Structure formats: C-alpha cells, structure tokens
Amino acid sequence: MGDVTSRTDASAMNLHLKLRIQYDGTDFVGSQLQKKGRTVQGELEAALTRLAGEPVRVALAGRTDSGVHAWGQVASLDFPGKPRLSSPVDVQRALNAILPGDVAVTGAEIAPDAFHARFSARRRAYRYLIWNAPYPLPLLSRYSLHMRNKLDWEAMEQAASQLVGTHDFAAFAGSGMGVRDDETAEPGKPSTIRTMHVARILPVDPTADVRHWHGPEVQGSGAWDSSVPGMWALDLVANAFLPQMVRAITGTLLEVGQGKRTVENMSELIESRDRRAAGQTARAHGLCLMWVEY
C-alpha cells in the first residue's frame, strides 16, 4: 500500500513545463535532433535526463538551421518532479548549472496540460542582422552578415512591405521542403501558404547593449541614413515559416538593395511561386528566432 502512495505522490509532482531558451547557434548543426552533430534539443534532453534520472523528451516551437541563433526559442516538456526539483524555478536553475555555455534557459513556468511549444504557437518572429560597411565588425561577426557595398535600404523596405498579408510563399521555400497549394500539390507535404504580419527593415545601433539590437522590444535607432555605415535589421513576423524561408527572403531583398532586381519584382516573385526565380539563401549566422506568441 505504501508503494502505491509513493507512486501517486511522485506522479502528482510531474511538471508540464514551458521553457524559454536562448542559444548561440554557431556550433550547433540545428535545433532539432539529428543523427550526427550537436543540437539544441540534444543538449536540453541530455541535461533534463540527467536531472530526472529517466529520458525526457522536448518539443521546440521552431526548427532552426545550423548556425541560426535564438533569443526566445520555446520548449515544452513533461518533467518528473523530484523533491528538490519541484518547481519551474528549481528546474531552470538546475538546467543552467549543467548546460553548456552556448545554450541557457531564460525562463520557466507551468504550462496548461494541452500546451505544445510548436502546435500551440500563433506567431513567430525572426530577425536578420546585416552590417553594411566597408569594414567588418569582428565582435559581431557571429551574429550579423557583413555587406561591404552600400545597399539601398529604402528600396529593400518597400520590397519587404509587399510580403505582408496571406500569400503562397512557395518562391521562398527551401528546395523540396514545401509545395504549391493547388491541385497538383503532393499529398503529405505542407502547404506553402502563410500569413505575414510584419515585414520591416530598420536601423539598429550596434554600439548599444545587445538587448537593444537583439531583443524583442527593439524599435530601431532612429532616422534613416544609409550614407553612413550601420547595422540594419530585417524583422519578419508570421503565423509560421517554411524551411529556409527567412533566409531566402533576405537573399532576395539583398538583391533589391544591390540593384539586381526592382521593388516591383517582389510581388511578381510571390505570384510566380517559383523558388528558382528568387534570390540565394542568405547565410545562417545573421538569423535569430526572436520570440514566439501563444
């Protein structure tokens, strides 16, 4: 009878958790588990399993590629609570004591039973940072793309604004990672229709505290002045994103900024739904998952 009581008490301590995760993606092959290489999910699950004494699986809100960073990734999991790990704060502290230095839990709370980090998400926000100057910034090179030649940021902003709304974003889907949403769509593959809520470009002060250029509250650093070197941010907020979608959009907008395509070409490109017609996929290190809304 005592054994039954012990099992019941232990079950009552189980915690359904929502974690906020921050990581530097430079040395990860991605966020999701893979057969080879370090992953964010792998590090989290290894640490949680060590604390729990049994396997613990984690669900992440968004899949980030190798080299992509996160300011506000979200994870959901069931943690078998222990006497000394019986609250979200306890679990957060214990995790941060054993996780490697390039990943940390910045928040933890009890979540409703039905909460799932991926499937409960309503909107996701990404930011791509671009340092536009003749010279590099070595201390920020892990988190921003360096473009030496002057870019036409106003043209890029005009082109980006055409992304807002519900569109078929097949032109920006990674090769083979989405299908056009019509009668020829292959069963079992995801639709490429998404709703873009925000698509903007703004200047960011690279000398400010990191929270002021890579934090969710960023509003930009003031007036446009593309005649001087500066850090610029492309912000995209959508209900969901296709694989490599943000980086494909970034690569396309950079071609607008370089005068290789016109502002008007953006709407034509969306209508074409042809990935071959869009720009190259921008490098991963300038991209960061900022926040997830539920």
Q: Active-site residue numbers?
A: 65
* Nearest residue to 51 (alpha-carbon basis) of 23, 21, 88: 88
Note the Cα 139 to chain centre separation in Å. 21
Rounded to the nearest 10 degrees, the angle between the axes of helix 153-161 and helix 245-257 is 140
C-alpha dist (Å) from residue 79 to 16, 32, 45, 69: 6, 19, 11, 25
Tell me the angle at which helices 245-257 and 265-272 cross, rounded to the nearest 10 degrees: 150
Beta partners for residue 21, in sequence order: 73, 105
CB-neighbour burial class of residue 263 (10 A; exposed 0-12, middle 13-18, buried 19+):
middle
User: How far is 62 from 83, CA to CA, in rounded Å?
Assistant: 32
Element (H or E) spanning 91, and its range? helix 88-98
Tell me if 46 sits within 8 A of 1, measured CB to CB: no
CB 191 within 8 A of CB 181: yes
Residues ≥6 apart with Cβ < 8 Å to 24? 69, 102, 103, 142
Report the residue count for the chain: 294
Between helix 265-272 and helix 153-161 the angle, nearest 10°, is 40
